[in-house]
Amino acid sequence: MDILLTGIKPTGKLTLGNYLGVMKRLKTYQEQYDCYFFIADLHALTLPIEPEVLKNNTLDVLSLFIASGINPKKSTLFLQSQVSEHAELNTILMNYLYMGELSRMTQFKSITEKMKNEAIGLGIFTYPVLMSADIVLYNASFVPVGEDQTQHVELARDLVHRFNKKYGDILTLPRTLVNTSSKRIMSLSDPSKKMSKSDPKGDIFLLDDEKTITKKVMSAVTDMVGKIQYDPTNQPGISNLINIYASLKSISIEEVENMFKDANYGTFKKEVAKAINDELTPLKEKYAKIRNSDELNSILALGAKKASERARPILNKVKKAVGLIVNE
């Protein structure tokens, strides 16, 4: 069975962008692939974060993974930091990605631009190396991500080509799985910007209450055109809401346009808010139960063990290929 892998960083409250971009789809992948889902807690350290916040966010993301339908017995669900093979492979792969390519990554460029006058840790620069290690450590064939992470997966592909050319057929070439309507969910208050954990204005957080969600959707920025049609250039706000509705209902953009061809913006927004709440209310209820249960530690222990069993032989193969001596 092919391996599918993805990770989420516990840096803030998860948004509807994270959910529609990736999380919602994972439950179905579980039936088709051997799945590895993890919380990228080492990546969360690449920007300043308080220890208590990191800890809480990590358990929140873990609980949301399970609430969204991930079965920890079927899939391997774990913390990146609890599987030390990630850090080991990262150290080796540092030497196979180049400073020029890392400095061209758009995430790196936009973060360093924003933090111009602050001290910036090295981890934000080497971020894609660890991400490549995450992927190739399991020989993953498929990596579902939102559009903002596709450049990093492309870099992992370059790395695989480079490594295999030098050492033989050692690593598996990963492919991104991107969902058309939900690859880039935009901010409700500024539809030219991606909805993001670090930019709370215009975000819908998965744990927001129903009233807050409705209020945020009702005040989403739209336009003066007055028609519900998909036109990201002239109607970015409405197009974003169409994308959100289409991915929540698993229908096409044309179907959404048809359903609401005679509706005004107010009516459409009300339906979008209802669709979001219909999806998130049960998710929040499940989340609350799991988050307060004492099963989380044993779920993590099981996940770390299964992940390490898969990763160790692949790491050893890489070590041997580059000439490191492995004691087996």
* Site residues for ligand TYM per CB under 6 A: 5-9, 17-18, 21-22, 40, 43, 131, 134-135, 143, 145-146, 148-149, 182-185, 194-196
Smallest gap from Cβ 10 to ligand TYM, in A, equals: 8
Question: Which residue's Cβ has the minimum distance to ligand TYM?
Answer: 21
Cβ–Cβ < 8 Å for 70, 27:
yes
Please state the closest distance from residue 18 (CB atom) to ligand TYM, in A.
4
CB 284, min distance to ligand TYM, A: 19
Q: Among residues 117, 129, 124, 55, which one has the least CA distance to residue 93?
A: 129
Q: Nearest CA to 67 among 281, 286, 279? A: 286
Q: What is the DSSP string of 227-265?
A: -----TTT-HHHHHHHHHHHHHHT--HHHHHHHTTT--H
Strands 142-144 and 76-79: unpaired
- Under 8 Å between Cβ of 66 and 289: no
CB of 189 or CB of 227, closer to ligand TYM: 189
**54/263 with CB nearer ligand TYM:** 54
Rg (CA), the chain: 21
Judged by beta carbon, residue 263 or residue 308, the one nearer ligand TYM is 308
Q: Which is nearer to ligand TYM, 138 or 268 (CB)?
A: 138
Q: How far is the CB of 261 from ligand TYM (least distance, A)?
A: 26
Output 77 or 145, the one with its CB closest to ligand TYM: 145
CB nearer ligand TYM, residue 3 or residue 143: 143
Cβ at position 145, least distance to ligand TYM in Å: 4
Q: Given the complex with ligand TYM, which of 21 and 191 has the nearer CB atom?
A: 21
* Shortest distance (Å) from residue 135 CB to ligand TYM: 5
Is the Cβ–Cβ distance between 39 and 58 less than 8 Å?
A: yes
Among the listed residues 127, 102, 130, 103, the one whose alpha carbon sits nearest the alpha carbon of residue 47: 127
Contact between 189 and 201 under an 8 Å Cβ cutoff? The reply is: yes
Partnered with residue 176 across adjacent β-strands are: 143
Give the residue carrying structure tokens 């807690």. Answer: 41
- Min dist. Cβ of residue 224 to ligand TYM (A): 25
Helices (H), the chain: 16-18, 24-32, 41-44, 51-67, 85-93, 99-103, 106-114, 123-136, 150-167, 210-218, 236-249, 253-259, 265-291, 296-322
